Amino acid sequence: MARIPSLLLPPLLLLVAQTTGLSTVNLGAVEAKPIDRQLISLSIDGPQRVQDNLTETMYNIFEPGNAEAVNTTYSKRLFQVLAQNSGPEQTYIFGLNLGSSLSFLLTPAFNFKTKHFIEITAAATYLNQSRILAYEVGNEPNLYTYTGLRNASWNVLEYADEILDWMPRLREAAGGQRFPGYQFGTIAEPPSAFGDFTQVQLAVMGVPQAIGSNVCTTQQAAAVTIDYYLNHLNTVTYFANWVDEIAAAESLGLPFHMGETGTAGCHGKDGVSNTLGALLREIDYALYATTLGMRRLFFHNGGGGVFYYSMWEPVALNASSPAHVNPTYYSMLFLADLTSDLPTPRVHRLRHLDTYDLAHYAIYNDQTFTKLVILNTHLYNDTRSTAAASRPEKFVNVSPVLGQRVQIRRLTGPSSVAKTGVTWKGQEEVVERVADGVVRVAASEGVVVQVDRTSWAMEALVHS
């Protein structure tokens, strides 16, 4: 995959800062934040009620025009799926249904007070509790008035009341096993958008759902464009909503998770959410959030051919919608490769160098600077009529901090809006090497750069 860059670099493009920016990487070790190896995780909605004698693992009821099941029932086999379809160290945050508990009051036969107990008792019975990181009580509770799950008097105090009422009883219902703990509360949108459901207000561990814009109506969908996402400074601005929230969680010594996120609410937009551009934004989004102190981000995943922001859809829907991965899947490969050889990975943003189309992250192993991540968030649309125009490139001189002999691992694809053909290192152990410390990053590419410690005898300057 690697293209050999011209060694005759236009001098204006040799832009990076031997003086100011890169020299701060060693100072950055002090401020660097830990990178969780599962920083980029998945959020999957679904289970609403458990029934022991269900013949299926899960039974979904759909309504026309709605890609989300309106009614989901699961059996104990769901827990076998969770236990057996991932490695033994994979943990889950298991959601309990808070929202519809009151609506079951309408059915006299159903005692809603036992509802959470059925869910949590099933989880405690059928899944080794070491696999559960936390139980989450309620999904998007700040929207319950809007979704009809509570009446107009619903507010953060009622929510806190219900939660405090449930917590000790759930802990008890989970029985003698080690109780994993709770995660709160997957608040939809920036947390003050629908009444003040902020963690600052709740003063508890926070899990806002966070999807910046949405495609829920035609008008809102029209406003969702790749230009917005493929812009590092927009990503930085967006996270201003969470700084106080993270601080509130940190002050209690609790990890802050972004519980459900993605490009655009109502499952993303075709041509935006399922592109290389969305992938670069996802990596930038996750690394930047980490520098602010967020611990993990859960990207929403779903099926049916219409969850455009899903990382993958492992089951073919029909002939025209086969099983496939979307570009955003590569965020996991990128992050795994970035951190797998670092016992204590940490990240610091080199903000002095950043522009709307260039993001720089210094990666440390504990206090030792080891790698640079450079993301070029410049739009490159190869379908334009001026397709002959070559892809714009940036050149970053990393020699002040990494020396001249460096290795480059490259994330690339045909264009910002490419839905296929995205590769990470060409999908193999492809490592580019340069001898002058100058790293080329084309529009809508990302690279990981580190010192090249391999032998240079008889090597060409760049090869793949």
Interface segment toward ligand NAG; rule CB under 6 A; list 6-14, 53-61, 252-260, 435-443: 53-61
x/- site string to ligand NAG, residues 375 to 394, per CB under 6 A? ------x-xxx---------
Identified binder of ligand NAG from the candidate list 80, 130, 367, 420, rule CB under 6 A = 130
Shortest Cβ distance from residue 382 to ligand NAG (Å)?
Answer: 8
Q: Is 66 in the site for ligand NAG (CB under 6 A)?
A: no
Tell me which H or E stretch contains 446: strand 445-451
Centre a 10 Å sphere on the Cβ of residue 430 and count the other Cβ atoms it contains: 16
Minimum distance, C-beta of residue 415 to ligand NAG, in the bound complex (Å): 8
Torsion of CA 121, 127, 133, 135, to 10 degrees: -20
CA 458, CA 376: separation in Å to the nearest integer?
Answer: 32
> Around Cβ 228, how many Cβ atoms within 10 Å?
18
Binding of ligand NAG by 155 (CB under 6 A): no
Q: Which is nearer to ligand NAG, 275 or 291 (CB)?
A: 275
Cβ distance to ligand NAG smaller for residue 234 or 321: 321
Contact 115, 98 (CB under 8 A): no
The total of other beta-carbon atoms located within 10 Å of residue 455's CB is 7
Our measurement of the distance from residue 435's CA atom to the centroid of its chain's CA atoms, rounded to an integer in Å, reads: 35
Helix ranges restricted to H, 293-394? 330-339
Rounded to 5 degrees, φ, ψ at 150 are -145, 165
- Which residue, 218 or 320, has its beta carbon nearer to ligand NAG? 320
Q: Please tell me the count of residues contacting ligand NAG according to CB under 6 A.
A: 24
Query: To the nearest whole angstrom, how small is the minimum distance from the Cβ of residue 427 to ligand NAG?
Result: 25
Instruction: Return d(Cα 377, Cα 357) in angstroms, integer.
Output: 4
Nearer to ligand NAG, 130 or 344 (CB): 130
Piece of 18-26, 185-193, 291-299, 316-324 that binds ligand NAG (CB under 6 A): 316-324
Among 35, 124, 202, 226, binds ligand NAG (CB under 6 A): 226
Exactly one of 34, 195, 305, 400 binds ligand NAG (CB under 6 A); which one? 305
**Separation between Cα atoms, residue 363 and residue 374, nearest integer Å:** 11
Decide whether 385 or 455 has the Cβ nearer to ligand NAG: 385
Among 11, 19, 53, 106, binds ligand NAG (CB under 6 A): 53
Q: Which two tokens stand for residue 283?
A: 């990596």
DSSP 104: G
Of residues 318, 288, 292, 289, the one with CA closest to residue 304: 318
Contact residues for ligand NAG, defined by CB under 6 A = 51, 53, 59, 61, 71, 73, 88, 128, 130, 151, 153, 226, 304-305, 317-321, 381, 383-385, 417
